[in-house]
Copies of this chain bind each other. A is one copy, B any other.
Amino acid sequence: MKAPNDPVPKMSVHSQRGQCAKRLSILEAAAEVFCRQGFAGASIDEIASAACVSRQTVYNHYREKDNLFTAVVEDVMDRANAMLFTILSTFPEKPDNLEDDLVGFAVRLSRSCICNQDGKFLRKLVQSEGERYPHLFESWRQHGPGKIGTALAALFARLSHKGLLEIDDFDVAARQFLALVNADLQMGTLFGVTPTDEELDSAARNAVRTFLRAYAPAQANTPAVKTA
């Protein structure tokens, strides 16, 4: 998926620094503009301006608009996936207090993967351009959200085997956990509103409480908590 016209000829290695900076600047600006305007609505001129770069430079790095778009999407997807698995690795495998630890995990997840700039970009782009570039987003789905489902399911399975949860279908439980975490935020994210820390925390707390009510073993972990 590399650009076919790599500048190989006589370039000394260190001269890539300036280029690299420009490339990143363009990628960043293009992501912002594509996200705000969509593919058709975004113009190369606007991207170039936002990147503080001449239009020709954009064309030098990415031969054409389509090319730039896929490069941006791949870049954002890579970042988002990396972040996703970073957060996944903070899952409370040996929880001190299951409820509190899950709430913390849920907050990290929503803050870093959902209310994120990258998350917003991907939701918007998958919606608006997903059908035009099926393979592009399909591979992301498999490597990103697809994987998170099975990974989270495996983590819940461990907690379940430890007797901390009572789950019959781990995949369903994982999807439901994610859905519950989003329950209070969905409407906001749909309109591009970034939730405050309090909202994030309250959403996570509501989600985890209901999740545990459904999946905590019989009368072990739920001392009949009342709403504050």
Enumerate chain A interface residues (CB-CB to B < 8 A): 36-41, 123-124, 126-128, 130-131, 137-138, 141, 145-146, 168-169, 172-173, 175-176, 178-180, 182-184, 186-187, 190-192, 206-207, 210-211, 213-215, 226-227
Contacts and interface: CB of A to CB of B under 8 A. Distances in A.
Given A123-B127, A130-B192, A38 B36 contact: no
The list of the 8 closest CB pairs from A to B, nearest first, reads: A40-B41, A179-B183, A213-B214, A214-B214, A40-B40, A128-B128, A179-B179, A175-B183
- This protein's copies in its complex: 2
A168 B130 contact: no
A210 B214 contact: yes
Contact of A179 (B123, B128, B180, B191): B180
Given A137-B191, A138-B191, A168-B227, 15 more contacts: A36-B131, A38-B41, A124-B127, A124-B128, A127-B128, A130-B190, A168-B226, A172-B184, A175-B183, A175-B186, A176-B180, A176-B183, A179-B180, A211-B214, A213-B215
10 contacts: A38-B128, A127-B190, A128-B128, A141-B191, A145-B187, A146-B187, A168-B227, A172-B183, A173-B210, A175-B186
